Amino acid sequence: MVSIKQFIANRPTSARALATLVATIALLGLAIIVDPLNDTYLATASIMAIAIVGLSLLIGLSGQVSIGNSGFMAIGAFTTAIWAQHHAHFPLLGSMALSVAVSTVAGIVLGLPSTRLRGPYLAGMTLAFAFAIPPFIQSLGTFAGGSGGLYFPTLQTPAWFASAIGEKDNPLAANNTWGAAIAIVVAAVAFFFMANFFHSRSGRAMRLVRDNDVAAELVGVNVARTRVLAFAISAAFAGLAGSLLAIIQSSVLPQTFGVALSIELLSLLVLGGLGTLGGAMIAGLIAAYSDSIVSRINSWTGIDPVSNLGGSLKGIIFGLILIATMLLAPSGLAGLGHRISRFVRSRVAQKKALSVSETP
């Protein structure tokens, strides 16, 4: 027990790497075991978790509210999709890297005003950006598929993978598992990066700028660069998530990346807990399963899913959750978990203390 604690304290990066590795292997195992439908959920959860943890960095760590990350996701998704559309050869890593690069540049451009704008001005500007992106993509014409979107060759599952998981004869299942595996591995790398970044010099600088930019300036932090950096990283994560989404779904539609997606990202982030990695993971899972949860609710309550109410139930629930979390539990589910575990631990400690004092 003590030695693990010491290990974490002395070699935090190795400890994080180890934790990431263990979690990745566990998730990959899970992806192989579960059915194809749950594979797509796992993939979605990983993808959303990447986008959400990127937003978490921006809002939670650097204190800048963005309602524009759906726009960066769109840029990432369409970069990958356009590549896939126009090149017979489709390297996974290459297209992801390109998406990340393009969305990072977009993030820097949108982040530049953040050096001068604060709070609502900034949030409103990102909203305007998110709003402009889908019509912009549509207006690019056939190059980006117009309003009909782009469809491109499905992800090719390597033969070795299919045979390794024993699904050689079931290409659909193998495909879903392969997609989930890619998403899980990429998410693991992204989370590992983020975990280290949170504890790095730059991460601390961001926190300082968030809490007191004047003080940050005084201790030599470059406030403007720190703010833009937060935007850039956040956009890179969103772009990566968008790219993965395009890869997994083999299609992209501009309308998918509207303001509603930004609102969903924000809701999930707040629900999971601002500025925590665990919160982003929980939020990713909720994102993936929200549709099936909502359809459960539909069948329990007997609401017709194709009725007006059935169709908008998810939006209503998301909105309610958002408001309720902010008014009742501003630290989100991660914070709630933290509080509960602390409570339980203090109870256990109390009991121990009591039983010790009772023994003669």
State the residues that interact with another protein by CB under 8 A: 59, 63, 65, 67, 113, 116-117, 119-121, 123-125, 127-129, 131-133, 135-136, 139-140, 259-260, 263, 266-267, 270, 274, 308-309, 311-316, 318-323, 325-327, 330
Q: Which is nearer to another protein, 308 or 359 (CB)?
A: 308
Minimum distance from residue 3 beta carbon to another protein (Å): 39
Q: Which is nearer to another protein, 31 or 252 (CB)?
A: 252
Look-up of token digits 């402009």: 132
Minimum distance from residue 311 beta carbon to another protein (Å): 7
Q: Which is nearer to another protein, 203 or 332 (CB)?
A: 332
| DSSP secondary structure string for all residues of 270-320 | HHH-TT-HHHHHHHHHHHHHHHHHHHHHHHHHT--TTSHHHHHHHHHHHHH
For 288, the token pair is: 């993936």
Q: Which is nearer to another protein, 136 or 193 (CB)?
A: 136
Minimum distance from residue 109 beta carbon to another protein (Å): 9
Minimum distance from residue 114 beta carbon to another protein (Å): 11
Minimum distance from residue 105 beta carbon to another protein (Å): 15
- Contacts of the segment 90-98: beta carbons below 8 A, 24+ positions apart: 90/152, 90/153, 92/182, 92/247, 95/243, 95/247, 96/186, 96/240, 96/243, 96/244, 96/247
Our CA angle for 148, 154, 158, nearest 5°, is: 165
Q: Which is nearer to another protein, 38 or 66 (CB)?
A: 66
Q: Is the dihedral of CA 115, 121, 124, 125 positive or negative?
A: negative
C-beta of residue 134 within 8 angstroms of C-beta of residue 258: yes
